[in-house]
Amino acid sequence: MAKVVITGAGCIFADSIGVESFWNNILEERKLHRPLSDERWSSIPKKIRDRIDRHYEAAFLSEDIMAQIAKETGLPFEHHSRLEIIVQASCQQALDGIPADRRNRKGGLILGAMNPDDEYNLGLGQAFDLEFLEKAKSAISAENHALQFLSTQLLASHQERFNRKDRYVASTAMDRIAKRLELSEASILVDAACGSSLAALEIANLLVGNGIWDYALVGGAETNLSPGSFRTFEAVGALSKQNCLPFDQKTDGLLQGEGCGILLIERDDSRMAPSEAPRAYIRSVAGSSDGRTTSLFQPSQKGQELAYARAHESLSESLDYVEAHGTGTVTGDKTEIDSLSNFLGGRKIPLSSLKGQFGHTKGAAGAAGLLKALCILKDQTLPPASYLKNPLNQDFLLSLRKSEIRDQLNCLGVSSFGFGGSNFHAVISRNPPPSATNQESRSGDVVVLAKTERTLKDFDPSSFSKENHFYRLPPKSLENIDPCQTLALTCVIDALRSLDRDISFLPTQETLVISASILGLPDVSLMAKDLKLEVYEKLLRSDTATSPDQIEMLNFIEKFRRQIPAIGEDFSTGVLNNVIAGRICHAFNFQGASYNIESGLDSEQTAERILFEKLRRGDAQLGILVSIQEHLQETSSPVVRTGARAKILARTELAQKLFLRPLERLERPNS
């Protein structure tokens, strides 16, 4: 595998246009979160905004910044989402100054993202308004004054731009960016929850290092600060009420943020002029899944340590600093401190997290951490963390003041962990590795061992609640879990059974799981509906006098709400796309990396290509591919899922060891 270098970078974060302003904000210790104002939720009608709890804070992009970058990119808000605009701007920054002959090669955009733009939720809300009013008119007299009042308020607030179908699929916006930038390859969206950016970097490093692409624009983006996103973190007890202080004993939770960070990575090229010298070398990127733990949504020390071990397996140098995940949640921070302390064997190194300043940018969190690490290497400066008065663990020398350490900072680690058991760790360095990493000797043939398929309409998930099921789910949890997760898991169970082997012989630590599905699940529309129904109720209670008409409408709303699961662990963080793969890892104790891939109509083929390359290179012995069969429609539930497919891939030597006859041998595609 060739050396891979970072040669460009760009970003848009709170009060930060470009890497220089981002770095200056870090050095000045600016806390960029503030109460959400009418400005950030300006697209939500005021009468409805006034009914939303307003104590939320976040590090959000101001309308002034959005207007500036919309103008610079030539992408007006009227026709483009916030997500598309900031990704376009960040990519342009990363490519700035790169000679044309280096850009006219094989390359594409790989973006970590766990949510569509929050306009997705607004579009769902508008579609549900129409659905609800239609059903209310059928069940209640059109002369009902409360219904007339509600209809007037809702329809007056609708905006045509939220009705566009292309806003439902984030990969559509990414493909438009790729076309404008004249990238040769289709864009890829990677969802590993809050580990999405580093999962994207792992894939980009694989494609570029193995010569499949010449370069990649890679990073992460997050623009979902809808009311539902705050309710989700509240539901799992993660949202800060007063102090977001990563790794401090007085922290009480996380604060949200938004933004985008993009790196340009290329294979090391001796023809580069000195002025084009690499900013940093990507030494390694590795992931793990927690496997079978007590909870799919709690951090695992063992899972994190496994990601560290894989990332450092071939490194001769030791770390000089870690940009940690550090969200500010008590459980998460303590688990990470313990996992790092154990992995490092008590060795003391500086460690900190920028989330106390920029908030938790979720899908963009790893990209923000990489950009900070890149700036530290360039300036040979550790930024201050003077807020930290009561460290969780004294074993780490957390930097309390700005310190310049010239020519001493070389290898830096960056970590990102996500709901669903995803753990990723990357190492970048100022100096080149001693020699090119040669992993070609580990390359081997890849075969298909099994294939299965099921339809959703004929699927009954109730078997998972039976006492004798090896992966029993409590009936109440089963009601709230996305049925496509249990359907996909059932397909994998079918496929493994068809092998007619004891699964205890499978290499669980060396099994990867990748799913392919559209970002933004049908269950997300249910959460949007639940929040909308709450708003309807508040509007009626505050703007109409108590009357038989009002009571009739409130009863109708309550009847609707009883059909929707309460927002909780399984029905909030549990509906993220990456949890499809995460639940499979949890059921079978698989501990390889796991994530979801979306690449338009080619999602399944793209996911299989990635899985093939990782197995071929020897990153794992066994691979599970699960693809969700789905299409879009113009309703309040735009993503319609009809079934799932599973495919089991393996390296030839594993098939031979287990005496398994392959269905077919996979060939490496030419392109």
Of 325, 349, 335, residue with least CA distance to 303: 335
Query: Alpha carbon of 668 to those of 129, 214, 384, 608, 616: distances in Å?
Result: 49, 17, 48, 11, 9
Residue 486 is predicted with a pLDDT of: 93
Go through 18-38 and write b for each residue having 16 or more CB atoms within 10 A of its CB, e for each that does not. bbeebbebbeeeebbbeebee
Angle between helices 118-139 and 548-561 (to 10 degrees): 120
Helix (H, G, I), strand (E, B) or coil at 462: helix
Residue 618 has pLDDT above 90, yes or no: yes
Report how far residue 654's alpha carbon sits from residue 264's, in angstroms, rounded to the nearest whole number: 36
Helices marked H in 518-547:
522-543
The residue ranges of DSSP E strands in 332-407, in sequence order, are 351-352, 381-382, 403-404
From the number of C-beta atoms within 10 Å of its C-beta (0-12, 13-18, 19+), residue 156 rates as exposed
Residue 524 has pLDDT above 70, yes or no: no
Residue 613 is predicted with a pLDDT of: 96
Report how far residue 297's alpha carbon sits from residue 325's, in angstroms, rounded to the nearest whole number: 16
Sequential DSSP letters for 336-368: HHHHHHHHHTT----EE-THHHH-B-GGGHHHH
| Rounded average pLDDT over 58-83 | 91
Residue 193 is predicted with a pLDDT of: 93
SS (H, E, C) 239-291: ECCCCCCCCECCCCCECEECEEEEEEEEECCCCCCHHHCCCEEEEEEEEEECC
- Which residue(s) pair with 281 in the sheet? 5, 429
Question: What is the share, in percent, of the chain residues with pLDDT greater than 70?
Answer: 87
Report how far Cα 587 is from the mean position of its chain's Cα atoms: 21
306-319 pLDDT, tens per residue? 999 999 999 989 99
335-371 pLDDT, tens per residue? 999 999 999 987 888 889 999 999 999 999 999 999 9
At position 491, the amino acid (one-letter code) is C
| Rounded average pLDDT over 35-47 | 68
Answering whether pTM is above 0.85, one says yes
Residue 104 is predicted with a pLDDT of: 76
Residue 438 is predicted with a pLDDT of: 47
Locate 483 and state its tokens.
């049925």
Residue 166 is predicted with a pLDDT of: 61
| Rounded average pLDDT over 275-299 | 87
| Rounded average pLDDT over 1-26 | 95
Report how far residue 467's alpha carbon sits from residue 426's, in angstroms, rounded to the nearest whole number: 41
| Rounded average pLDDT over 172-185 | 92
Query: DSSP character for 577?
Result: T
Locate 525 and state its tokens.
């529309």
Residue 268 is predicted with a pLDDT of: 86
Report how far residue 633's alpha carbon sits from residue 612's, in angstroms, rounded to the nearest whole number: 32
CA neighbours closer than 13 Å in the CB half-sphere of residue 519? 35
Report how far residue 299's alpha carbon sits from residue 160's, in angstroms, rounded to the nearest whole number: 41
Report how far residue 61's alpha carbon sits from residue 90's, in angstroms, rounded to the nearest whole number: 14
Locate 556 and state its tokens.
């109708």
Q: Do 436 and 1 meet the contact criterion of CB atoms below 8 Å apart?
A: yes
Q: Do 295 and 255 meet the contact criterion of CB atoms below 8 Å apart?
A: no
